[in-house]
Copies of this chain bind each other. A is one copy, B any other.
Amino acid sequence: MGKITMEQGSGGAATAELIEGLFKDRLGNEYLDRMEDSSVVPGYKRLSVTTDSFVVRPVFYDGGDIGRLSVCGTVNDLLMSGSVPQYLTAGFVLEEGLDTDLLEKIVDSMADTAKEAGVRIVAGDTKVVESSGGEGGLIINTAGVGFVDEDVSVGARFIRPGDAVILSGNLGDHHAAIMKYRLNIKNNLIKSDNAPLNRMVRGLMEGGIKVRAMRDVTRGVLGTVLNEFAKESGADIVLQENSIPVSAAVRDFSGLLGLDIMYMGNEGKMVCAVAPEDKDRALRIIRDSEYGENAAVIGEVKETSEKPRLIMKTAVGGQRAVPPLFGEGLPRIC
């Protein structure tokens, strides 16, 4: 259907056509359609605010695409503060030569995911830059605004000894899905977990669960996130290795390549610390939610007199400290 041109980044007639013909049909709503410099939308007493840029390659992969990812990533970040996601902004940086059919599919995917997550895209921006190497790519930034009720206090600093640590599902799916493309490995069982967690989090909040802290397990892998939990709370996080859910396909994949599941990213999983008395009920709510069927209690918060650490108890009865991710990780995973 065509290729993106520098002209479409001019801010003039060609940009207006691109917006009318491609973006507005797919993402349009009463706010975005006004096309003012900024959108005026209803507010709330407390807000959550976040941003994320998405540079993932390939842009389509089993289980998702950069469009779905760009909505899920920001929606999930908003949810992690206990807020109800409301508004997203979308900033597109398109490379000259990008296939417009591809862009249409990506924007369709954003629209579908925004609908699923209950958010509206209220502001957008499109820039076009020279192609960096033949095939046109794109980067998407989304920022998000959520509404936070006054009695909500969620954050790593609220974690206390005794709290249970729950992981919402299988670890490593997104990482393995991206890596199989890079290594040209065919394996239909490996799919990204790209998903918005709004229903799961809403379930916990409405169920009155005392949620101390939540983090989505993305590029900031479980090993890194739980070290942050330890640092911020001043307590040890003690995990049971054999309680960490992993699919058989990803376990085989990571075993074959010598990858440590603690350093493999997801895009539809969260880890949370909840009050001990709410442990069983929280687990049930998460398991009953979409995308939460494999959730498990993976550990506990324990008082320490030393420097707080993330500790892994192994299946054979040993234990080791797990440091945050060092080194490169997997570039352009999100």
* Interface residue ranges, A against B (CB under 8 Å): 6-7, 9-14, 16, 34-53, 55, 76-78, 80-81, 83, 87, 89-93, 122-125, 127-130, 132-133, 139, 141, 143-148, 155-157, 214-216, 218-221, 224, 228, 263, 265, 323-329, 331-332
Residues of B within 8 A of A133 (CB): 132
Assess the B145–A49 pair: CB atoms within 8 A: yes
Offer 5 A-B interface pairs, CB within 8 angstroms, sorted by A. Answer: A10-B329, A14-B327, A42-B45, A51-B91, A55-B127
Number of copies: 2
Whole-angstrom distance between the Cβ of A308 and the nearest chain B Cβ: 16
Residues of B within 8 A of A215 (CB): 37
Assess the B89–A329 pair: CB atoms within 8 A: no
Task: Name A43's closest neighbour in chain B (CB-CB).
Answer: B47
Residues of B within 8 A of A228 (CB): 35
Task: Name A157's closest neighbour in chain B (CB-CB).
Answer: B34
Residues of B within 8 A of A221 (CB): 11-12
| Complex alpha-carbon distance, A69 and B124, angstroms | 17
Residue picked from A47, A51, A329, most chain B C-beta under 10 Å = A51
Whole-angstrom distance between the Cβ of A51 and the nearest chain B Cβ: 4
User: A34-B155, A40-B83 are known contacts; what are 4 more A-B pairs with Cβ within 8 Å?
Assistant: A6-B331, A9-B328, A43-B47, A51-B91
Residues of B within 8 A of A93 (CB): 53, 55, 93, 139, 141
Assess the A141–B47 pair: CB atoms within 8 A: no
Assess the B80–A36 pair: CB atoms within 8 A: yes
Assess the A50–B35 pair: CB atoms within 8 A: no
Residues of B within 8 A of A81 (CB): 36-40
Task: Name A85's closest neighbour in chain B (CB-CB).
Answer: B38
Task: Name A39's closest neighbour in chain B (CB-CB).
Answer: B49
Given contacts A51-B141, A127-B55, contact A224 B39 (CB under 8 A): no
Whole-angstrom distance between the Cβ of A123 and the nearest chain B Cβ: 5
Residues of B within 8 A of A34 (CB): 155, 157
Assess the B49–A89 pair: CB atoms within 8 A: yes
Residue picked from A91, A92, A157, most chain B C-beta under 10 Å = A91
